[in-house]
Structure 1
Amino acid sequence: MATCRFTSPNEEFDDCFSVCGWPMPGAQIKVVDNLMHELSVGHIGEILLKSSQVCSGYINNIKANANTFLSDGWVRLGGRIFYNSKGQICVLGSGKNAIMHGGLVVYPEQLEFRIQRCPGVAGTTTAGVPNAKRYEEICALLVRYPEMEAVTEEQVRHFCSKHLFLNDDSVEFNHLPKYYNLWMLYQY
């Protein structure tokens, strides 16, 4: 899912990953639960869009059309969002990409945004890998800057423990999934 931010010149910029601003003129957005009931400010749900700028459907894909384009003109985008107290749209990520980690729903986009700020990390992608105890374990693939001193696993763990919300008792930072070491890469 790609997102872009709509702001005005007079708006105070909020440098936060999830804040995307307000709907563009001519676009209507609402947040709904699994039963398609509209949710109020602060409640996380699926984003629906209605606009004259939206296509009318997918070519030769009846199933995708039925799942995406609703009869009342609304389009299901699949993103998980909420409205903050200022009325701004806050995007958490794609519902399809969500990692089910124990009792938490973790959105890879948020993890990647923060991990990429770790010194020495040029890029990252995250995914859920099977885990019998927690359903999915969080696995990160990192690309290091070749011209910088190599970032170590310990540095990444330390950075994550300080900058990610995943530092409660339900998540252990004293070890990483076995996949982690296999996925440390250099960018050439």
Structure 2
Amino acid sequence: MKKHIFNKAFAFGVSHKSIFAVAVLLTFPAVAMAGRPSLGIGYSNVGLTGHSGRPGVTITAGNLYSNSVVASGSATAARGFYSMNASIGKLVPAGAVSFVPYVGMDFLNVNYSQPQLPSATDFYGLAGVDMNVPIGTSVMLQIGGGYGHTLMTYGGNGGSVYQGKAEIGFEVAPNVTANINVRYVHIPGQSMTDEGAGLSYHFS
């Protein structure tokens, strides 16, 4: 029987403050023995409002459980920026494509070196949906977006949050996926565009 990248868990895809959170995010999706966990690491080019990109690193973890529940988490760190998120959703097949409606919690910190520019630390929740489009048996296109609201803010303004993303993944070896992705996040007073590429390992 042909294996399909769609049937694997996905994780498409550091400052000292991120180390503990990364450890939590890596263990969160894999707490159950059943399922198809994955781990990934990648390069990120984080572009902040009015600034050129800043090179950084992203660590990801995910698990597709036997009941089609999807859990995932990630942490990204670059100069003057770090973010962490965790989400849980449900894989819903719909013919040749599939959807993952999800809810998640995110933490984002922007710290500019110039005192005249606003810094922000926001903790927010959001809900959204991703759509997975298989292209053949070893390529997957994923697009999605979400909308939410800040729950706590430090040094910034509360308000609506929205994001969008697009990613394409390629199976380059057994249990190994390479991916290229772009993500846009808007929080009150700030915006971020994250372009990245990385590798994920999918445990059997």
* TM-score between the two structures when normalised by the length of structure 2: 0.25
* TM-score between the two structures when normalised by the length of structure 1: 0.26
Hey, which of these two has a bigger chunk of helix by percent? 1
Find the structure with the greater CA-based Rg: 1
Hey, which of these two has a bigger chunk of strand by percent? 2
